[in-house]
Structure 1
Amino acid sequence: MLDTDRPRHLADFLRRMSEDPNVDMVGLDYFRPDRGGYEIVDEFLRTMPVKVPQDLFSLSRLERVRHVARLVEREWRTHTDFYEQWEWYQAHLVAERLREITLRAQLRKPLFVFMFGWNHGSQSGQDPLMLTDAGADALAVMLYQISSKRQFALMVEQWRQYVGAAQANLIPGDQVDFYWHQNMTRPRAAPEELYRRILTAHDKFSAGGKTLGVFWHDISRAAVVGRTGPYPGREWALAGAAAFSAVRRAWNVYPLTASLSVPPEVPVGA
């Protein structure tokens, strides 16, 4: 976060990609602080109006880091004001770095930024409105590592309450992972649940209407044994492709549509 060379290196790379005629858009994958973001502890304590012990700055920097880490990782339930200010400050710095990069890069192509889905990214030092103001043309929201269908429904509601109409261009997407789809085989298969989550996010993430698009992550995961569970990678790919088709229909992309219906009394395989 405080490295002055990294924004310059990223800006130079993005500018080269943006100038390539074979590139349609450029992106930053999971743009956030690393390992808790504790390198910014002193800046946070000096900038934000948080209550701290009077002798805190007489202690070593390591002790200050330990103090902040204890409040935001162990005692955040009893120090909610401190915790929320810590989240806000991280997101603010992340957005500042993104703005610095976009201004330096002078991009000619749309910029997308990956961000975490839970609690609209706040626990990962991200904020969709700040990132949009900083220059992100679209936000690729990762619907990853959700422990239950109930948690997914709660995440959708968090986004719907936070992002209003035309405040951000959202592109939610899910990943090929049998475990994080609760090893589902019934009442629906895990790839079908991936399809359901992508379309649910597309329909309900924003109070202003449907999201700009969706994504599916990714070809390499579908090809690796251990991610797909009892379902072949092709089935996960078909689930993602079916979600894309549904989104295109929702946006009236197709000039023609067709449907096929079968009477319920017709036996399977007839």
Structure 2
Amino acid sequence: MTSSTARSRSLFFWILTFYGAVFTIRVFWMSWTRLVHLETAKAAYFHYDLIDIRLWSKDPALHKRWQARPPVAVVRRGGEVLTTIAAIRELRLKYDPASGMWTGRWPCPWNAPEGTYSLELLNSGDLARRMRRGTFRIERRRPHPLPKGFAALTLESVDPFKTMKVRAPSGEVKDWRGLIDWAEYIGADALWVLGGQTPGEKPGQVWRTQNLSMMAEIARECRRRRIKFGVYVMCYLTMSADPLTHYEYAREVKDGRTYETRAISLRDRRRIADVAQLLKRFRDIPEVDYLGIDYIRNALGGYELAEDFYAEMPISPPKGWDKLSREQRMISFAQKKIARRDAGFIDAWQWWRARRAAWLVRELKARLDWAKPLWAFTLTWDKGWHHGQDAVMFNDAGIDAAALMLYEADDEQFKLMIHDWNKYVKKKDAQLLVGDVIDWPLHQKHPDGPKAFYRRMVSAIDRIHSDGPAAGVFIHDLHRALWGRRGPWTTKEWMDEAKRAIRYIKEKK
């Protein structure tokens, strides 16, 4: 073979390889540009999440098609198309110029089952072979486990511990140590006391300070007696109509105008930082075993959140919204909510408020370095949704025990609350503590008094779940039992029924 022939063959093979590579690249490029991706931003979500759905392709023809007729996505589980919050079944995607994708936000359904969910694009018959459909998981956080049959005695009071005089179960008048005597008497595992309330004793002061220096000493005494100790903070409700100037307050609507309430707005970034700072002080006391929060919700009003709600949720504002002032928007929003004619809107508002509260819990737990178990007092009308709370979202966000306040209800209302919870939450979904209040008027002055209290506690223990008893109980609260509205019964008569309720749950198998 001559050298010229060899060079010719080499050139031929080089040209063949070159064109083969060009062809392969072209085929790959054409194939890649024709692919259609339907996916979520993350692989896994919690119950407080909005699932971010994204649709994209490099095919310019598809973009023209979708601009003419926006794409619609659905979520499936087990082959079934799901309906979520606000009766949303089909999610119309919108073009996002920043990412070049078509996007939508699907609210996670109330207490959705754990597992895998799939995405589907409606009316995509000719795209079936080009479509790459993603999946996502809904997960559930496992809370810090409580001892079996856990029982806590609460103290909701800002009375100074240093000068407190407590009549102990023995009849002897003691100092604050008599509080722990009562926890021992009823067989409680823990004493939970109020440690943070706004405003303070002095003008401009965020927290009441008179009891802060006592917390370490009380904690040590509880530890010595083998009683766990917890401290909680009132988060978003203040005890004064005089506002602190550095907070934004929640707004209510009355007579066609908005006004400022004594509740701090959930959108105020300074408040969560202040709550975290105070809880860190308690966290750093070695003998403090539990941290707690109360009023982790928009306690009053909340209409200043209207713009945030529409910005996040896949719910369209009413026509002319963009032409209204902020004041007019709040009034319009309140009128729509109060009318309660739009069930989907009400469902979305309740879900979104619960999500907002859960995100605050998540941030708070992170600021506390997830160091100690955290409980939250939780309202119970309509599973807490009526108040913008959800025990399942709270669990995922970092609440280790949802303390359900099953009071301020007559017997029929109480039965309805228990029925709703029984149908909604199983033991694996959240760690629930059931509680009743030692307050005769809040039991409608029932002639049985403390015994009616006991019956409600036992009913809640047995029926709050459909698959087993409550994780524990709390007795609310010792201040009311000592100095509150007991009716014709003594402190000990009320506390004896609390003792019976604690014994009952501890004997449950």
- TM, length-normalised to structure 1: 0.86
SS of 1:197's partner is helix
1:200: how far off? 1.0
2:441 — aligned with what?
A: 179
Q: SS state of the match for residue 115, structure 1?
A: strand
Q: Distance in 2 between matches of 1:165 and 1:230?
A: 38
Q: How does 1:163-178 map to 2 (within 5 A)?
A: 163-178=425-440
2:330 matched residue in structure 1: 65
Q: Which residue of 2 aligns with 1:29?
A: 294
Residue 469 of structure 2: aligned partner:
210
**1:95-114 counterparts in 2 under 5 A?**
95-114=358-377
CA distance in structure 1 between the aligned counterparts of 2:464 and 2:295, rounded to whole angstroms: 19
Matched with 1:144 is: 407
Cα displacement (A) at 1:114: 0.6
Supply the distance in 1 between the matched residues of 2:496 and 2:350 (Cα, whole angstroms): 38
168-177 vs 100-109, which deviates more? 100-109
1:15 deviation in Å? 2.5
* Number of the residue aligned with 1:267: none
1:47 aligned residue:
312
CA distance in 2, matches of 1:31, 1:240: 26
Contact 1:160 1:205 in 2 (8 A): yes
Whole-angstrom CA distance in 2 between matches of 1:213 and 1:116: 16
Q: Give 1:161 deviation, angstroms.
A: 1.0
Q: Distance in 1 between matches of 2:279 and 2:495?
A: 29
Q: CA deviation at 1:51?
A: 4.5
The answer on whether the counterparts of 1:18 and 1:107 sit within 8 Å (CA) in structure 2 is no
Alignment size in residue pairs: 244
Q: Distance in 2 between matches of 1:4 and 1:51?
A: 26
Q: Is the 8 A contact 2:306 2:330 kept in 1?
A: yes
Which residue of the other structure, out of 232, 244, 267, is the alignment partner of 2:490?
Answer: 232
SS of aligned partner of 1:141: strand
Contact between 1:15 and 1:106, CA under 8 Å: does it hold in 2? no
Task: Give identity over the alignment, percent.
Answer: 35
SS of 2:404's equivalent? strand
Q: Which residue identity does 1:44 align to in structure 2?
A: F
Equivalent-residue separation in structure 1 for 2:488 and 2:344 (angstroms): 45
Which structure's CA Rg is the greater one?
A: 2
Which segments of 5 or more consecutive residues in structure 1 lack a partner in the other structure?
252-270
1:243 maps to amino acid: A
TM score, norm. by length of structure 2: 0.47
Equivalent-residue separation in structure 2 for 1:199 and 1:12 (angstroms): 38
Structure (1 or 2) with the greater helix fraction: 1
1:244 aligns with 2:502: yes
User: Residue 273 of structure 2 corresponds to which residue in structure 1?
Assistant: 8
CA RMSD of aligned residues (A): 1.4
- Tell me if the contact between 2:407 and 2:414 (Cα under 8 Å) persists in the aligned partners: no
1:33-89 deviation digits (Å, cap 9, x = unpaired):
13132221111122223343311221121211112212222x11x211111111011
> In structure 2, what is the Cα distance between the partners aligned to 1:230 and 1:224?
13
For structure 2, the residue ranges without an aligned partner over 5 or more in a row are 1-265
Mapped to 1, the partners of 2:335 and 2:452 lie a distance apart of: 37
CA deviation profile, 1:85-126 (whole Å, cap 9, x unmatched): 110110000000110110111132211111001111111110
Question: d(CA) in 1 for partners of 2:322 and 2:479?
Answer: 48
